[in-house]
Structure 1
Amino acid sequence: MRLLHTSDWHIGRTFHGQDLLEDQESVLSALADLVAQHQVDVVIVAGDLYDRAVPSSEAVQVATRALRRIRDAGAVIVVSSGNHDSAPRLGAFSDFLAAGGLHLRTSVARLADPVLIPHPDGDVAVYALPFLEPELARIPLGVDGRPGHQAVVSAAMDRVRSDLAARPAGTRSVVAAHAFVVGGRAGGSERSIAVGGVESVTSDVFAGIDYVALGHLHGAQQIEPRLRYSGSPLPYSFTEAGHEKGVWLVDLAADGSITDRWLPLPVVRPLAVVSGRLADVLLEHPDLGDHYLSVVLTDPVRPLEPMRRLRERFPHALTVIWEPAGDRRPGPVRPAASSTPTDAEILAEFLIDCRGCAASPTEAQLIDAALSSERIAEVVA
């Protein structure tokens, strides 16, 4: 049985104001090509299909086209809900969709109801656990008190193992779970799943399962040989600039052993972070014109209109931060604590705080003229 493990599509996400739907559709189309090329039997999406509980109509259309391409490529699809998804919305019409090969698992009640994939070497039971928010999941799972993620995921896995034990000998098992497993490294663009408690779970809660397809962390990584994250198909933070995005191709043998292969996904638009004075950045980096760019400016004085000037040279620049070299911004000259600052002193301090230098003589004259005009208007009134 050949599985393809992916997660955290976050369809509809924006990146520092940049719409990513076109990028996401391109990458997910490439994922469907991998399914066809490698004759994948089952595609697992381990949570966070969408980026928000109420996705836009455009995001839904992108998801629909991506899932249709994967299904047309010949794979059965199993999707679980993540912490970004609305489980009830995502799970709507799940019984009807299952007839077409798209299996949605979004409710606690069905987490021990596997998707059974028939195979000559023995059936494969795919248990797709939805994201389990402890306060909401504790009652249906029969967990007392105010439990954390460890307790509710443990209770869910007890149900999974109980169901698996009742199945014919030789049934192989796969679990998809959206969780933060101890030992995992966050990529920087994940939303915390802790609400008044510890958000992590230990890997031993998944004991006895042939393969565990994890979602939530956006960097691909292996926790244990049979337990790993695929990461997101696109980078969603500049902290992920060095990540290689892709999917796990997993062959599950008749005895439950696995062999795996990492399949990289195409980079639609690479990420880069550059630092330096604005004039130098504009003259250098000729190879970054097609990158999403984050710029850290080290000019001693805050440049005027830096983003406009950067985008003339780098049309996909998204963020700009001013951090003077050595952070040696001159401190404002504050009046004595016993005195009340004048309007002129407040404006002078504001300029120094904002851009790192005092007003020029011309600017000082303009400030004086403006304040004088304001005083005259108050007297006339």
Structure 2
Amino acid sequence: MIASSLGDVRFLHTSDWHVGRTFHGADLLAEQAAVLDHLADLVAAEAVDVVLVSGDVYDRAVPSAEAVQVANRALARLREAGAQLVLTSGNHDSAPRLGAFGDFAAAGGLHLRTTIARIADPVLLRDEHGPVAVYGIPYLEPEPARHALGVPEAKGHNGVLTEAMRRIREDLRGRERGTRSVVLAHAFVTGGQGTDSERTIAVGGVEQVSGDVFAGVDYVALGHLHGPQTLAEHLRYSGSPLAYSFSEAQQRKSVWLVDFDANGLAEVRRHELPVPRRLATLRGGIEWLLTAEEHADLADCYLSVTLTDSVRPIDAMRRLRERFPYAVHLEWQPENGKATATLRYAEAVRGRSDAEITRNFLDDCRGAPPSEREERLLRKALEVAGRGES
């Protein structure tokens, strides 16, 4: 049993840290460390009793040593700020690795719920009103989970989560009258809005779970979807602390501060997180992008650029990075629409000589035919290869 601070219990709901993730090849560890440091400051400022992390602590099953250092430092700072921590594993995490030494970690205030065996084994809190039971459901891969849960007839995520919640409700019924409850879960709940940065968890085409599965508890701290969302007053996604795709550029990343009173859920407040580096998109001709004063404030942003030049600019990314050092994504969509025309290879080359094929290749790639000098070089190369025109 863990005693909370005097008065009601306050939770901080966060998820999907994805420590170690890169953004179009750019290392995000510094930005991730900065946002997670802010969470520790928030815990201290708001007198948070328990931090809930609903899966995807890491971005990959075997995180780098540097990613582990960032996560460990964040957890230590949150603990030093005065909060207990409850973590579950997500579909990106390795549950056995994340849960290693869990029994020892619990002695220091870090409670790991990464196994099916501990789904109905809550972290117990107590405030002046009585007990609060915090249950952690790790991400459940349907096929192995249905057998491990003893429900081989269960279908998809909805089926295995239904059994997990049945076990939790059964445990709650056997506890002290008036026990309040929190559940952490990592799933795609019907009504949620996804982004481009979540890895699909579809199995047989079915990945969504009905919100009704989670009936009977006071608050459900969801993870997996990266945008902050309220599906019901007690059923929420915190979203990821950073944007991990340009589809999230307009999102205001945040966490939930969740207060319990004698009757359970009393209030939920949204706290917006700082943005270490903004995301932005630009579209236009390369010369305009490189010279227009109106783009000067985007030099420190992660940038996605769509070039509209009729001819593909040479060495475009290098040139863009001279002005926008954090340009990370580049597309070419000429205004004449030529880049969008596609043919099957067999259709594209049928009846054409090698010289015509190479000329058309250059035209398709750049949006302009080869110059006279390039034509001479092409003829010479084909002759050397024994494929010259007769």
1:198 pairs, out of 206, 218, 224, with 206
> What's 2:384 paired with?
373
SS in 1 for 2:130: coil
> What's 2:174 paired with?
166
2:244 pairs, out of 229, 236, 239, with 236
SS in 2 for 1:272: strand
2:359 pairs, out of 348, 354, 359, with 348
CA RMSD of aligned residues (A): 2.0
Q: Which amino acid aligns with 1:189?
A: S
- Matched length: 377
> What's 1:299 paired with?
309
1:138 paired with 2:146, answer yes
Deviates more, 1:175-184 or 1:281-290: 281-290
TM-score, length of structure 2 as denominator length: 0.93
Deviates more, 1:338-347 or 1:14-23: 338-347
Flag the 1:335–1:192 CA change in 2: closer, same or farther, 3 A.
closer
Distance, in Å, in 1 between the alignment partners of 2:342 and 2:177 is: 76
Deviation per residue, 1:309-356 (Å, 9 max, x gap): 000000000010001115145979999999743221110111122111
> What's 1:13 paired with?
21
> What's 1:83 paired with?
91
> What's 2:123 paired with?
115
> What's 2:113 paired with?
105
Deviates more, 1:99-108 or 1:145-154: 145-154
Deviates more, 1:368-377 or 1:109-118: 368-377
Alignment gaps of 5+ in structure 2: 1-8
SS in 2 for 1:257: strand
Distance, in Å, in 1 between the alignment partners of 2:375 and 2:267 is: 71
Distance, in Å, in 2 between the alignment partners of 1:163 and 1:303 is: 64
Q: Which amino acid aligns with 2:105?
A: L
Distance, in Å, in 2 between the alignment partners of 1:122 and 1:332 is: 67
1:49 paired with 2:70, answer no
Cα distance, 1:376 vs structure 2 = 9.8
Q: Which amino acid aligns with 1:112?
A: A
Deviates more, 1:322-331 or 1:111-120: 322-331
TM-score, length of structure 1 as denominator length: 0.95
2:335 pairs, out of 313, 325, 344, with 325
Cα distance, 1:263 vs structure 2 = 0.7
SS in 2 for 1:132: coil
1:184 paired with 2:218, answer no
Deviation per residue, 1:35-83 (Å, 9 max, x gap): 0010000000000000000111111111100000000000000000000
1:277 paired with 2:299, answer no
1:263 paired with 2:246, answer no
Q: Which amino acid aligns with 1:51?
A: D
Distance, in Å, in 2 between the alignment partners of 1:195 and 1:224 is: 26
Distance, in Å, in 1 between the alignment partners of 2:279 and 2:10 is: 32
Cα distance, 1:258 vs structure 2 = 2.3
SS in 2 for 1:325: coil
SS in 2 for 1:320: strand
Deviation per residue, 1:107-137 (Å, 9 max, x gap): 0010010000121111110001000111011
Flag the 1:338–1:39 CA change in 2: closer, same or farther, 3 A.
closer
The structure 1 segments of at least 4 consecutive aligned residues displaced by more than 4 Å after TM superposition are 329-340
1:28 paired with 2:36, answer yes
Question: Quick one: percent identity of the two aligned structures?
Answer: 59
SS in 2 for 1:281: helix
Flag the 1:339–1:202 CA change in 2: closer, same or farther, 3 A.
closer
Cα distance, 1:97 vs structure 2 = 0.1
Asked whether the equivalents of residues 148 and 199 of structure 1 are also in contact (C-alpha less than 8 Å), the reply is yes
Alignment gaps of 5+ in structure 1: none
> What's 1:68 paired with?
76
SS in 2 for 1:223: strand
2:222 pairs, out of 214, 236, 253, with 214
Flag the 1:42–1:304 CA change in 2: closer, same or farther, 3 A.
same
Deviation per residue, 1:119-168 (Å, 9 max, x gap): 11111100010001110110121212362111100000000000011110
Flag the 1:42–1:368 CA change in 2: closer, same or farther, 3 A.
same
1:360 paired with 2:368, answer no
Distance, in Å, in 1 between the alignment partners of 2:56 and 2:208 is: 17
Flag the 1:154–1:329 CA change in 2: closer, same or farther, 3 A.
closer
Distance, in Å, in 1 between the alignment partners of 2:387 and 2:113 is: 70
1:311 pairs, out of 318, 321, 336, with 321
Flag the 1:298–1:339 CA change in 2: closer, same or farther, 3 A.
closer
Q: Which amino acid aligns with 1:318?
A: V
Cα distance, 1:194 vs structure 2 = 1.1
Q: Which amino acid aligns with 2:67?
A: A
Cα distance, 1:374 vs structure 2 = 3.3
| Paired residues for 1:149-164 under 5 Å | 149-164=157-172
Distance, in Å, in 2 between the alignment partners of 1:151 and 1:366 is: 64
Distance, in Å, in 2 between the alignment partners of 1:87 and 1:351 is: 49
Distance, in Å, in 2 between the alignment partners of 1:117 and 1:332 is: 61
Q: Which amino acid aligns with 2:46?
A: H
Asked whether the equivalents of residues 148 and 197 of structure 1 are also in contact (C-alpha less than 8 Å), the reply is no
